[in-house]
Amino acid sequence: MNKEVLEVRDDIQAAIAAERLELPTLPEVAMQVRKVAGDDTADCNSLMHVISEDPAVSAHMLRVVNSPLMRRSDKPVTDLRLALMQMGFDTSANLAVGIAIVHMFMADNKVIGERMRAACKQSTEVAGLSQVICKFSTSLQPEVAMLAGLVHNIGVLPVLKFAQEKPALVQQPVFLDMAIHALAPELGDQILTHWNFDEDLRHVPSQHLQFNREVPEADYVDLVTFAVLQAAQGTDSPHAQVDPDVVTAYKRLNMGAANDELHSEEMQEKFQAASSALG
C-alpha cells in the first residue's frame, strides 16, 4: 500500500470515527426482512408484507422467480406471495436482502457512477456463480452463498462516498482504483459487522482473495474465491493470472480450475442465468 493510499485509508477511518463519514446503512426493507427471517413464527406471508413495501425490491423478486434459473412453468408468476412460496422462505429472505444491497450501488457523479456500476455488475456475477457452485459442490446453503457473493465487494461504497467529497481523488481515476482495491476489503468487513451479519459472512470481503487461506472445510469464503477467479477468466484482470495450484479453496471444494463439468455448456448456462437474474 503506497503512501497516498495509506493517507486515504487514514482519512476515511478518521472520518468514520468522527462520524463525518457514516458506514452505509442497510436499507430499511433489508433490515425488516432480516427481522422477519429471525422470527421462528414468521412465514412467507410475513415476508410478503415487508417486501411489498418496497416496489423496486418486489419487482426485482418477481423478475428473479421468472428467470430461467427459477422458472417452473411457461406461465409467469405475477403475484409476490406466490413467488415467495415458490422460492421458499430462506431463499426469498436472503434474495430480498441481496437485492436491496444491489440497489445501493448508485451515484450521480460520472466517475463514481461508473465504478458503482462495475462493482454492482461484478458482485451479481460472483453471486450467481457462488450460488450455482454451492449447489454443485457443497452442502452449504445456496441462498447464503448468493448473499456472500453480493456483499463481497460492499467495501467499495464508503471509498466511493468519500471520493465524492474529494474532487482531486475523482480526477485521478487510476489512483482511485488503487484506493478501492486496497481499502475495500477491510471496510467491507467493518460494514458487515456493523450490519450484524452472521460470522460466516463477516470476513468474506477481506478473506476471499487470501488464496492460501487454511480452514478445516469449505465455507462461503471459498465459494466467493472460486467465483471471483472464474469470473475473471478471459479478462485482463490480474485474477485471471492466478496459479490455481496456490488456491486452497479449489482443494476444499474438490474442484480444479479446468474441471470439465464446470465448463460444460449446461453449467455455463446456469452461471449466466443466475447472474442475469440478480442484475
Question: Cα(205)–Cα(209) distance, rounded to whole angstroms?
Answer: 8
Question: Cα(196)–Cα(35) distance, rounded to whole angstroms?
Answer: 12
- In three-state secondary structure terms, 223 is helix
pLDDT at 275: 67
Condensed to tens digits (0 to 9), the pLDDT of residues 12-40 reads 778 777 777 777 889 999 999 999 999 99
Is residue 147 a contact partner of residue 126, using CB atoms and an 8 Å limit?
A: no
Supply angle C-alpha 72, 77, 80, rounded to 5.
125
**Same-domain pairing of 135 and 238:** yes
Residue 73 — very low, low, confident or very high, per pLDDT cuts 50/70/90? confident
Q: Hunting for cell 450455482 — which residue is that?
A: 132
Residue 99 corresponds to which amino acid? I
Condensed to tens digits (0 to 9), the pLDDT of residues 101-111 reads 988 988 878 88
In a domain, 69, yes or no: yes
DSSP assignment of 133-193 equals HHHHH-SS-HHHHHHHHHHTTTTHHHHHHHHHT-HHHHT-HHHHHHHHHHHHHHHHHHHHH
Helices then strands, counting H and E runs in the chain, come out as 16, 0
Question: Given a cut of 80, is residue 223 above it in pLDDT?
Answer: yes
End position of a domain, from candidates 42, 75, 103: 103
**Same-domain pairing of 52 and 170:** no
Q: Hunting for cell 455448456 — which residue is that?
A: 265
pLDDT at 244: 86
All cell numbers assigned to 160? 466511493
In a domain, 269, yes or no: yes
Give the highest mean pLDDT range of 11-20, 122-131, 157-166.
122-131
What is the pTM assigned to this prediction?
0.87
End position of a domain, from candidates 82, 103, 124: 103
Residue 159 corresponds to which amino acid? V
Query: What CATH code is carried by the domain that includes residue 121?
Result: 1.10.3210.10
**Same-domain pairing of 82 and 217:** no
In a domain, 120, yes or no: yes
